[in-house]
Chains A and B, each alone.
Chain A
Amino acid sequence: MLFDKPSPPNPADQGKIFGKPHPRIDGPKKVTGTAPYAYEYKLAEDNAVYGFLLGSSIAKGRIASIDASLAEKAPGVLLVLTHENAPKHKPENSRAAPQLQGPEIKQYEQAIAFVVAETFEEARAAARLIRVTYRTEDGAFVLADEKDKGKPTKTAPDTATGNFDKAFAEAEVKVDVTYTTPDQSQSMMEPHASMAVWEGGKLTVYTSHQVLHWAHAGIADTLGLDEDKVRVVSAYIGGGFGSKLEVYSDPILSSMAAIKLGRPVKTALTRPQIYNHTTHRPATIQHIQLGADRDGRLTAVGHRTWSGDQEGGEPETASEQTKLLYGGENRRVETRLTVLDLPKGGSMRAPGEAVGMLALECAMDELAEALGMDPVDLRIVNDVQYDPEKGPERPFSSRKFVECLKTGAETFGWSARKSKPGSVRDGDWLVGMGVASAFRKNIVQESGARVRLMPDGHLVIETQQTDIGTGSYTMLGMIGAEMLGLPLDAVDVRLGDTDFPKASGSGGSWGANSAGSGVYYACEALRKELARKAGFNAESVSFSDGRIISGGNAVALTDIVRTGAVEASDKAEFGDLTEKYAQASFGAHFAEVAVHAFTAEIRVRRMLSVCAAGRIFNPVTARSQCLGGMTMGIGAALMEECVVDPRYGYFVNHDLAEYQVPVHADIPDLDVIFLDELDDQSSPLRGKGVGELGICGVGASVANAVYNACGVRVRDYPVTLDKIIGRFDL
């Protein structure tokens, strides 16, 4: 079904189950260890063997020689693949991930050999016996050195309205600042892992991937197999954060070996391999110029971002939110991409906004100070209810931004904040408060589902949609239950299998709204079919308590399906409403942070995020998403950084001891408030993206609070103690 008009009232609006808080239905399986992840599938015949990847220890150059003879003779080894003996790939689509195709090295930790053995330990030990020599070439690894070679991109085209230069020159109050954000790693809990099974000319790949049709296309194309000969399963995923939007070596090499050996092959990346083998969020340099009149109204808005990626890669779109977040007639928003030979860049939770807001929202704080204005008021003054580049003819579909700021300020006790930095002291701790806006564009994707009412009266939902920890199982089950008038425990949700209808997958905060709409339309189709079988007019029926009701007549659903299950399929397709309306989720983050007067240690004390993201499908899982985003934002603000060693062209801190993310002790009292909002233009379910909203801007609220606490403005993330120690009075 095509969604191209504002949604009329529909059965998903009833509010009996859908929209009510419900713990995740897959929770018991996860906490009892019975939810199988890619590496854990038990096959009927327990004959899986283990693959281990050997990665390149240079970033750029060629393999001069590779000698696997010792590895081949090592105990338990069944196969060693290198570029000298691997089958050739002829990829045609952009999702393909050819492996071991030649001696060229394009990035550190690129797969250069793959060892398969009876046990994991044997494969790992044998991999260390492979002797490799390289011819190393110079590469470009430092963004600051390369940025001037940056070029505009199609992904994030430059825009300009009014006369920015003139307006900025004439602005009464202005800030002109450059912020940097480092490379970051998604650091999800489950490593990338795959098990490939080759049986009867058909390949099944159990893997950990967020969007199955991308994995499906990528794996089949790389291996030169028809898609109908390849099945991909990702029923449970231990976090992705964008890292699992790409096909890496593990499914491809496992499949190559499984086809050759006729035995299932399973491969997991080790944690140290992940940082350089898989994608990361690229570092940015962001130049922000804001001009305002004395009342704080923006007259000039300028934002240029530089980032780097390998040849043919993509920019970190950190300027993009600046096109939409605040008003102002004179605007210039630009993105520059330069070539770097670091590991390939990619998506990490809220690509673009997550780091764009780290810079923009601190610049806004600097502007507020320059104006002598409260930073909450500054944001309110610059609210705009339409796309400020396009004008009032492109309104926002819904935008409760000001309400988020006001509710947050009131709830958090913002009025207690002292505008002069360093004014509040609690023992040896300097205490400050910070605010930042939250903004994440809303994306919808085509998504299908199949629903089947079984003879015993329970509903089966099948879709390729994945659950990366976000709550897809639960939300999709709630939609099915609401639509068919069933209790949630009568719904059996089956996800993450390419045998099911193609779905949006999980990424860009589009999963719940898109896949939910697919399930909604499939349920609509099923309701019609059940109405027809019950002899009712489909337009006038309702479903409640396991019955289909039309006027004064009701029929138990189990009576209709007694003689056989009834099935329906449909998919959600989205028209041009995202063009006609600017669509985004909004919020406001408030943070209280303490800085130790002596040691400069920085600790977050409490935090509140107020979010308006359309209908909240399940307040339990949505809240978890926001808390997770806030936690990740604390990491981005205070500790996360992939450190580039330009001598070797790699991220040197490649494990969880050295790449620090927040631990429990770093996370204090966090709270989330969702404002009531229904967005009729986004989908029949009236929701907007939630999964990434929590991270967008939150780190800036922390950095702003650090400034308010101690008076030191760090423009080079992360804000660590070495950057502020000795720069404020004891």
Chain B
Amino acid sequence: MKSFTYERAETLEQAAGIVAANAEAKFIAGGTNLLDLMKLEIETPRHLVDINHLGLDRIEETEDGGLKIGALVRNTDLAADVRVRRDYAVLTRALVAGASGQLRNKATTAGNLLQRSRCPYFYDPSKPCNKRDPGSGCSALEGHSRTLAVVGTSDHCISQHPSDMAVALRALDARVNVMSARGGEKSLTLDEFYRLPGETPHIETVLQHGDLITGVTLPKPVKGVHFYRKVRDRASYAFALVSVAAVVDEDGREGRYAFGGIAPRPWTAGGEARAEGGASVIAARALDGARPTGENVFKLPLLERTLKAVLKDAAQTSGK
């Protein structure tokens, strides 16, 4: 860990200003990912600006019947919120499928969105990794890639996004609220928020240095049966090999779907959460253009079959 300085910001504007003015500064919220990466010198900020205690820890109802979730709402609190459990159960289920109780107590909504790759080569500073060390190459392409992405990848990076929460948010068409360092607010869909790796896998979002996520907005609830199905080798405390977030209409013909474990960002079938048809059709659209490795090609049938299981459960739940 490189030595660093720390300060607690007094206001959001001050926090953004400090970071914007210092190329080596970063925000710190829960720290559950950043501190680990700092210990390995994968992240090396020289100045940390603490944005806890700035009032971003509230969940409020919006005028159009949705919810505005503050950036600093802890994963535990978000999962337990009665409105989330009632109207956005897929989000609660995704949250509690991730990490451990201790981590969820600390981890924040914005931090969860911004958590970084779990590719083993990203975590190994002595190995080439375009995400960690741009231009050094990708060790995973011809290496250990069993857990990595199969779609949305590039020749420069095949890392998958590790979040469960973000997959549920994608299914719900949530928007990320960003306070720009240069003033003004932006509201971005997750597809707008996350960048695909292309030739610059180290640039993971459209955030500019100093931009601050203030929260996430959920549109008004949609009717349907909520599922978060996470498939992994062990029953808990592992990242998804494949996950499916789904809100399936009562009649089972349509639903909203997002997929985790297969792509550099929460993924959908053809760029829209809303989709209709059977599991094979939806999975095929989601996996259009997939470029799996020999080690992770199993994710293709696994995604389809997981979706099949979800749709079967949805039909049973709806009594069809």
Q: Which residues of A contact B (CB under 8 A)?
A: 57, 75, 121, 124-125, 128, 272, 428, 596, 598-601, 603, 638-639, 643, 645, 647-648, 652-655, 657-658, 660, 662-666, 720-722, 725-726
Give which listed residue, A598, A639, A643, A663, contacts B236 with CB less than 8 A.
A663
B120 at the interface (CB under 8 A from A): yes
With A125-B3, A596-B309, A725-B302 known as contacts, the answer to whether A652 contacts B236 (CB < 8 A) is no
Q: Is the CB of B121 within 8 A of A599?
A: no
In Å, the complex CA distance between A638 and B238 comes to 14
Of the A-B pairs whose beta carbons lie under 8 Å apart in the complex, a sample of 21, sorted by A's number, is: A57-B126, A121-B1, A121-B3, A125-B3, A272-B123, A596-B309, A598-B308, A598-B312, A639-B233, A652-B121, A652-B124, A652-B144, A660-B233, A660-B238, A663-B234, A663-B237, A665-B236, A720-B233, A722-B146, A725-B301, A726-B301
Give which listed residue, B3, B120, B234, B242, contacts A665 with CB less than 8 A.
B234
In Å, the complex CA distance between A543 and B233 comes to 55
B6 at the interface (CB under 8 A from A): no
Residues of B within 8 A of A648 (CB): 127
In Å, the complex CA distance between A121 and B96 comes to 33
Residues of B within 8 A of A647 (CB): 139, 142-143
Interface string of B1-21 (1 = CB under 8 A from A): 111000000000000000000
* Residue in chain B with minimal CB distance to A128: B41
* Residue in chain B with minimal CB distance to A596: B309
* Residue in chain B with minimal CB distance to A109: B126
Residues of B within 8 A of A653 (CB): 120, 144
B46 at the interface (CB under 8 A from A): no
Q: Is the CB of B41 within 8 A of A725?
A: no
Interface string of B186-200 (1 = CB under 8 A from A): 000000000000000
Interface string of B127-148 (1 = CB under 8 A from A): 1000000000001001110100
Q: Is the CB of A428 within 8 A of B3?
A: no
13 additional A-B residue pairs with CB within 8 Å, beyond A428-B312, A652-B121, A720-B233:
A125-B2, A125-B3, A128-B41, A272-B123, A598-B308, A638-B233, A639-B233, A652-B143, A654-B124, A662-B234, A722-B302, A725-B305, A726-B301
In Å, the complex CA distance between A124 and B1 comes to 7
Residues of A within 8 A of B146 (CB): 643, 722
Q: Is the CB of A598 within 8 A of B144?
A: no
Residues of B within 8 A of A720 (CB): 233
B118 at the interface (CB under 8 A from A): yes
Taking the closest CB of chain B, its distance from the CB of A130, in whole angstroms, is 12
With A598-B305, A599-B309, A653-B120 known as contacts, the answer to whether A645 contacts B235 (CB < 8 A) is no
Q: Is the CB of A666 within 8 A of B3?
A: no
B296-320 contacts to A (CB < 8 Å): 298, 301-302, 305-306, 308-309, 312
Give which listed residue, B118, B127, B234, B308, contacts A660 with CB less than 8 A.
B234
In Å, the complex CA distance between A600 and B241 comes to 12
In Å, the complex CA distance between A645 and B127 comes to 11
* Residue in chain B with minimal CB distance to A124: B1
Give which listed residue, A75, A596, A599, A639, contacts B234 with CB less than 8 A.
A639
Residues of A within 8 A of B301 (CB): 725-726
Q: Is the CB of B306 within 8 A of A598?
A: yes
In Å, the complex CA distance between A536 and B241 comes to 73
B79 at the interface (CB under 8 A from A): no
Taking the closest CB of chain A, its distance from the CB of B172, in whole angstroms, is 23
Q: Is the CB of B144 within 8 A of A666?
A: no
Residues of A within 8 A of B2 (CB): 125
Residues of B within 8 A of A666 (CB): 234-236
With A638-B233, A652-B124 known as contacts, the answer to whether A125 contacts B1 (CB < 8 A) is yes
In Å, the complex CA distance between A20 and B56 comes to 58
Q: Is the CB of A598 within 8 A of B309?
A: yes
Interface string of B235-279 (1 = CB under 8 A from A): 111110110000000000000000000000000000000000000
In Å, the complex CA distance between A137 and B50 comes to 47
Residues of B within 8 A of A596 (CB): 309
* Residue in chain A with minimal CB distance to B3: A125
Taking the closest CB of chain A, its distance from the CB of B65, in whole angstroms, is 35
Taking the closest CB of chain A, its distance from the CB of B158, in whole angstroms, is 14
In Å, the complex CA distance between A638 and B239 comes to 16
B231 at the interface (CB under 8 A from A): yes
* 9 A-B pairs closest in CB distance: A57-B126, A665-B235, A598-B309, A722-B298, A665-B236, A598-B305, A652-B144, A663-B237, A666-B235
With A664-B236, A665-B235, A721-B231 known as contacts, the answer to whether A599 contacts B3 (CB < 8 A) is no
Give which listed residue, A128, A603, A658, contacts B120 with CB less than 8 A.
A658
Residues of B within 8 A of A726 (CB): 301, 305
In Å, the complex CA distance between A652 and B295 comes to 14
Taking the closest CB of chain B, its distance from the CB of A115, in whole angstroms, is 14
In Å, the complex CA distance between A662 and B236 comes to 9
In Å, the complex CA distance between A648 and B127 comes to 9
Taking the closest CB of chain B, its distance from the CB of A97, in whole angstroms, is 23
* Residue in chain A with minimal CB distance to B146: A722
Taking the closest CB of chain A, its distance from the CB of B2, in whole angstroms, is 6
In Å, the complex CA distance between A721 and B241 comes to 10
Residues of A within 8 A of B234 (CB): 638-639, 660, 662-663, 665-666
With A599-B231, A599-B302 known as contacts, the answer to whether A75 contacts B143 (CB < 8 A) is no
Taking the closest CB of chain B, its distance from the CB of A486, in whole angstroms, is 43
Taking the closest CB of chain B, its distance from the CB of A665, in whole angstroms, is 4
Q: Is the CB of A75 within 8 A of B3?
A: yes
Q: Is the CB of B236 within 8 A of A599?
A: no
Residues of A within 8 A of B242 (CB): 599
* Residue in chain A with minimal CB distance to B296: A722
Residues of A within 8 A of B121 (CB): 652
Residues of A within 8 A of B308 (CB): 598
Residues of A within 8 A of B123 (CB): 272, 655
Residues of A within 8 A of B1 (CB): 121, 124-125
Residues of B within 8 A of A722 (CB): 146, 298, 302
In Å, the complex CA distance between A272 and B121 comes to 12
Q: Is the CB of A663 within 8 A of B235?
A: yes
In Å, the complex CA distance between A645 and B142 comes to 10
Taking the closest CB of chain A, its distance from the CB of B262, in whole angstroms, is 14
Residues of B within 8 A of A657 (CB): 118, 238-239
* Residue in chain A with minimal CB distance to B142: A647
Of A124, A638, A652, A725, chain B has the most CB atoms within 10 Å of the CB of A652
Residues of A within 8 A of B306 (CB): 598-599
Taking the closest CB of chain A, its distance from the CB of B298, in whole angstroms, is 4
In Å, the complex CA distance between A647 and B138 comes to 13
* Residue in chain B with minimal CB distance to A120: B1
Q: Is the CB of B231 within 8 A of A601?
A: yes
In Å, the complex CA distance between A57 and B238 comes to 27
Residues of B within 8 A of A725 (CB): 298, 301-302, 305
B57-100 contacts to A (CB < 8 Å): none
In Å, the complex CA distance between A663 and B306 comes to 23
Residues of A within 8 A of B127 (CB): 57, 648
In Å, the complex CA distance between A664 and B234 comes to 10
Q: Is the CB of A721 within 8 A of B233?
A: yes
B136-175 contacts to A (CB < 8 Å): 139, 142-144, 146
Residues of A within 8 A of B238 (CB): 657, 660
B187-218 contacts to A (CB < 8 Å): none
In Å, the complex CA distance between A598 and B301 comes to 10
In Å, the complex CA distance between A722 and B126 comes to 29
Residues of B within 8 A of A662 (CB): 234
With A121-B1, A125-B2, A652-B124 known as contacts, the answer to whether A599 contacts B144 (CB < 8 A) is no
In Å, the complex CA distance between A600 and B124 comes to 31
Residues of A within 8 A of B124 (CB): 272, 652, 654
Of B123, B233, B239, B301, chain A has the most CB atoms within 10 Å of the CB of B233
With A652-B124, A725-B302 known as contacts, the answer to whether A643 contacts B144 (CB < 8 A) is yes
Residues of A within 8 A of B239 (CB): 657
Residues of B within 8 A of A600 (CB): 302, 305
* Residue in chain A with minimal CB distance to B242: A599
Taking the closest CB of chain A, its distance from the CB of B128, in whole angstroms, is 10
Q: Is the CB of A645 within 8 A of B144?
A: yes
In Å, the complex CA distance between A139 and B301 comes to 36
